[in-house]
Amino acid sequence: MKKILRIIFDILFAFGVVGYIFGLIFGMTTKDGFNLSGMPALLLFAWLIFYFWGLSKMGKKTLGKMIFKV
């Protein structure tokens, strides 16, 4: 159960929170959230790759792993 919660948390954080922050930075927020396209969308995609793949390859933990102690 912890693993499922950790995965859900990591996805919501990595895509939802960081995506919204990118939307604020690049002026691409909407009343429903954010709508990234072009370079900001590519930067979010690069962030997602780093967050999920890069951190594990560097021996680091994602925020979800730290919170749920997985």
Q: What are the residues whose beta carbons fall under 8 Å from the beta carbon of 55, sequence distance 6 or more?
A: 61, 62
Q: What are the residues whose beta carbons fall under 8 Å from the beta carbon of 33, sequence distance 6 or more?
A: 16, 19, 20, 23
34 occurs within a structural domain? yes
Number of separate domains in the chain: 1
The 10s digit of each residue's pLDDT in 20-60 is: 999 999 999 999 999 999 999 999 999 999 999 999 889 88
70 occurs within a structural domain? no
Residue found by looking up tokens 């950790």 in the block: 6
48 occurs within a structural domain? yes
Whether the full predicted model's pTM is greater than 0.75, yes or no, is yes
Domain with 23, as residue range(s), is: 2-64
The whole-number pLDDT of residue 2 equals 87
Joined together, the tokens standing for residue 46 give: 């690069």
